Structure 1
Amino acid sequence: MRISRTAGVLAVSVLLLVPVVAQASSSSSPWPHSVTLTESALQGVHGTAPDATVRNVLTVTASGAALRVRLGNPFGGSALVARSVWVGLQSAPGSPALVRGSNHRATFGLRRTVTVPPGGSVWSDPLPLAVRRGDHVAVSVYAPGSPINDHTFPPPQTHTPGSFQAPGDAGADASGGGYGAFAPGVLWWVDAVSAVSDARGTIVALGDSITDGYNAFGGGPRWTDVLAARIGALPPGQRLSVANAGISGNTVSVQPNPYDPTNQCCGPPAPVRLERDVLSMPGVRYVLLLEGTNDIGGGDYAPPAPAAQVIDAMRGIAARVHASGRKIVGGTVLPMCNAAGSAKEQVRLAVNQWIRTSGTFDAVLDFDAVLRDPADPTVMLAAWRSDCYHPNAEGDRLLGESIDLAVFRR
């Protein structure tokens, strides 16, 4: 059963009859029975916000009502002061205009402004807004002078998160007339949207650029979007939302980042961000882990990791997920163009063998077997790869379609 926008308004009206509870929970867990409709894991802090409004646009992966949005300041050295936050529905892809009547001012503990201290995050109160799977939620934030906690990456070509900017406090402008061009892949402060939903829970995909959608060129969505479409088409009672917690350049083990000595490009290592980006999200039932490529590959600022380092990190993540009462699904590491017999290829094969056979994961998705070239298993088949590390859109489609949905019924 789909949740109508009218039903969403009624649900929120009931919720707002208990303002004491709303105020107490504004910076803690969302309402019971809510799920995460979309996510954009914040990766670092880059500068200070100008006197402008950022209209962030994210695609939701399930239907729901009583929307809430989370603002994050995990990396800022000073407070994030959001003077106004508005939430509506984008009227059309590429446009800053909003659906008529959909734009609502968000409150936080019934207050219109909110201060998020360094290292913190805050959920809004429920909004009188309902969505259907595939809708584009626009979250407009005016926080001049605040540290820019962002997620910026070369985006995929469809279902692309991104943002618009307008001078001054322009969140109430539903026409979008004051906003500039769309900045694909650029999001500030908004790291999650939740809702009361008929979905039975959330899958969080914890990963690096392969999950983030880097270089997924060729006209299709990311593999997580393919998975969301498939699982969202199941009968009611079997549906799940899918939250993408991929960050390009991320590592699965705690180590210096191979690409950036400042550690601001690629997010904290997966074990460090596990609580923020996965376990704290509402409705999480399954975690899908696909990482290890950057650890094994190394870079200018960190040497290639040995197999034991990668395996220990994965084992630790799985243990924490299980301790929280959730299940974890492991994906094997894709081919990386390392020569047969080379040290890096031996590490990748050892890690994949452990993923397949250790019993650490509740289920295994053999992504390596899906995309490798039968004639040379050290590389992805040419028709399915963008470069040595990344599938193209066709490769992402194959990954998304290869996933046995039965693993999410266990």
Structure 2
Amino acid sequence: MRMHRPAVVLAISTLLFSPVTAAAEPSGALGPHTVTLTESALQGVHGTAPDATIRNVLTVTASGTALRVRLSNPFGATALTARSVWVGLQPKTDSPALVPRSNHRATFGFRRSVTVPPGGSAWSDPVPLSVRRGDHVSVSVYAPGSPINDHTFPPPETDTPGSFTSAGAGDAGADESGTAYGAFAPGVLWWADAISAVSPARGTIVAFGDSITDGYNAFGGGPRWTDVLAARLAQLPPSRRLSVANAGISGNTVSVQPNPYDPTGQCCGPPAPARLDRDALSLPGTRYVLLLEGTNDIGGGTYAPPAPAAQVIDAMRAIARRVHAAGRRIVGATVLPMCNAAGESKEQVRLAVNTWIRTSGTFDAVLDFDSVLRDPGDPTVIRPAWRSDCYHPNAEGDRVLGESIDLSVFGRG
């Protein structure tokens, strides 16, 4: 074995300075102790990247080491070419300054740059960083001229993900001081859609949903319900801990149909069945998919009529079938009140869907979010103290949702 070592070292040193074209790495290749620490599902492509560096900041939901970052180009018509990627620790989400000496150049197959083809993703090599739940990880990407695959619905919650753009041209990824960057853009992330790590956590829960999961309109300064869930899971004995990956996209639909709000198809992500593999099943460590969708299908909009109950149910049943086929478990959550009066067709559809979720046996467990948040005096609306608008809980409502979840539905081992 030793006689071959010089050739291997020479090959690696050559690769460090060569571009590479990479496809997504399957989660099974990452090992049984690798989990996804955080996610921000991409929703569409919006323009072309300027000659500037984007410093993304994401907050992790479990502890881990040997971090890997996924860059994705699901919607681009051309390749994403990241000339430089740096990963560091960020004390505060609203400041581009990094923890001194925490910033590391990321490589992809030992190469400093990576080309991701249209529809593809690429995982970095492990970066020598350790994090704890609640830590902020910066992913600085220099990819001028690449299609901007982004997440751009800013949830107004604590430690929101977001990004900074460098003020000048060129690669500013190595800058730890943060002086090269401009103002914080909350909720705006480019390309960096997941971070994995070797972790004591036994797996990952993927919260798969729409704006209620994304955190949209969660006014009041509190965290999203998924972050409340992650904090509770962190208090469990190590053998029971799980990370939480938030795959919410505002405006998303659970069934395959035109988006009710956007005829371009770039507003709200592909329908849930079309993005299930990328945003849930392909993630390292996924053990549970927690499905909270259907509001946008039932509500309809300018570009799509309200969906019938059968359409929503068929979509949920098909998603559950695919999750089970992949060897994972699926937890279904009931659809929240939507301010449709009792007896109206949309309310009848919502009630029919919820009855099916509770009683069909399709899901391995059910979280009755509808019962948790509905107003006892008028079950067609969310309680006023927990409501931001007809569809969305406020920060207190998110806290209530996160606290209401029976952790035993995620097993004990």
The bucket for the TM-score relative to the shorter chain is: over 0.9
Say which SS state the counterpart of residue 110 (structure 1) adopts. coil
Query: Is the 2:86–2:106 contact (alpha carbons within 8 Å) kept by the matching residues of 1?
Result: yes
Query: Matches of 2:190 and 2:72 in 1, distance apart?
Result: 9
Q: Which residue of 2 aligns with 1:265?
A: 267
Q: Which residue of 2 aligns with 1:107?
A: 107
Query: Is the 2:23–2:121 contact (alpha carbons within 8 Å) kept by the matching residues of 1?
Result: no
Query: Matches of 1:372 and 1:91 in 2, distance apart?
Result: 38
Q: Which residue of 2 aligns with 1:155?
A: 155
Query: Matches of 2:267 and 2:221 in 1, distance apart?
Result: 26
Query: Matches of 1:72 and 1:232 in 2, distance apart?
Result: 28
Compute the displacement of 1:233 (Å): 1.3
Query: Matches of 1:134 and 1:327 in 2, distance apart?
Result: 26
Query: Is the 1:26–1:125 contact (alpha carbons within 8 Å) kept by the matching residues of 2?
Result: no
Matches within 5 A, 1:238-277: 238-277=240-279
Q: Which residue of 1 aligns with 2:192?
A: 190
Q: Which residue of 2 aligns with 1:378?
A: 380
Q: Which amino acid aligns with 2:26?
A: S
Compute the displacement of 1:159 (Å): 2.2
1:20-70 per-position Cα deviation (integer Å, ceiling 9, x unaligned):
9x9999841352120000001000000000011000000000000010000
Q: Which residue of 2 aligns with 1:391?
A: 393
Q: Percent identity between the aligned chains?
A: 81
Compute the displacement of 1:311 (Å): 0.1
Query: Is the 1:26–1:124 contact (alpha carbons within 8 Å) kept by the matching residues of 2?
Result: no
Q: Which residue of 1 aligns with 2:6?
A: none
Matched, 1:229 2:231: yes
Q: Which residue of 2 aligns with 1:75?
A: 75
Compute the displacement of 1:232 (Å): 1.1
Query: Matches of 1:300 and 1:92 in 2, distance apart?
Result: 39
Compute the displacement of 1:154 (Å): 2.8
| Count of residues paired in the alignment | 393
Matches within 5 A, 1:9-408: 27-29=24-26, 31-32=30-31, 33-166=33-166, 167=168, 168-408=170-410
Query: Matches of 2:365 and 2:200 in 1, distance apart?
Result: 25
1:272-303 per-position Cα deviation (integer Å, ceiling 9, x unaligned):
00000000000000000000000000000000
Say which SS state the counterpart of residue 128 (structure 1) adopts. strand
Say which SS state the counterpart of residue 237 (structure 1) adopts. helix
Query: Is the 1:24–1:109 contact (alpha carbons within 8 Å) kept by the matching residues of 2?
Result: no
Q: Which residue of 2 aligns with 1:12?
A: none
Q: Cα 1:133–1:342, aligned 2, differ >3 Å: closer, same or farther? A: same
Say which SS state the counterpart of residue 316 (structure 1) adopts. helix
Query: Is the 2:21–2:115 contact (alpha carbons within 8 Å) kept by the matching residues of 1?
Result: no
Query: Matches of 1:159 and 1:348 in 2, distance apart?
Result: 33
Q: Which amino acid aligns with 2:273?
A: P
Say which SS state the counterpart of residue 216 (structure 1) adopts. coil
Compute the displacement of 1:19 (Å): 7.1
- Where in structure 1 are there 5+ consecutive unaligned residues? 1-15
1:69-93 per-position Cα deviation (integer Å, ceiling 9, x unaligned):
0000000010000000000000223
CA RMSD of aligned residues (A): 1.7
- Where in structure 2 are there 5+ consecutive unaligned residues? 1-8
Query: Is the 1:85–1:141 contact (alpha carbons within 8 Å) kept by the matching residues of 2?
Result: yes
Query: Is the 1:27–1:124 contact (alpha carbons within 8 Å) kept by the matching residues of 2?
Result: no
Query: Matches of 2:348 and 2:336 in 1, distance apart?
Result: 13
Query: Is the 2:24–2:120 contact (alpha carbons within 8 Å) kept by the matching residues of 1?
Result: no
Query: Is the 1:318–1:328 contact (alpha carbons within 8 Å) kept by the matching residues of 2?
Result: yes
Query: Matches of 1:163 and 1:118 in 2, distance apart?
Result: 23
Query: Is the 1:70–1:121 contact (alpha carbons within 8 Å) kept by the matching residues of 2?
Result: yes
1:205-260 per-position Cα deviation (integer Å, ceiling 9, x unaligned):
00000000000011100000000000011111110000000000000000000000
Query: Is the 1:56–1:162 contact (alpha carbons within 8 Å) kept by the matching residues of 2?
Result: yes
Query: Matches of 1:91 and 1:313 in 2, distance apart?
Result: 41
Say which SS state the counterpart of residue 173 (structure 2) adopts. coil
Say which SS state the counterpart of residue 131 (structure 2) adopts. coil
Query: Is the 1:82–1:114 contact (alpha carbons within 8 Å) kept by the matching residues of 2?
Result: yes
Compute the displacement of 1:157 (Å): 2.2
TM-score of the aligned structures, taking structure 1 as reference length: 0.94
Query: Is the 2:91–2:135 contact (alpha carbons within 8 Å) kept by the matching residues of 1?
Result: no
Query: Matches of 1:233 and 1:101 in 2, distance apart?
Result: 30
Query: Matches of 2:97 and 2:57 in 1, distance apart?
Result: 11
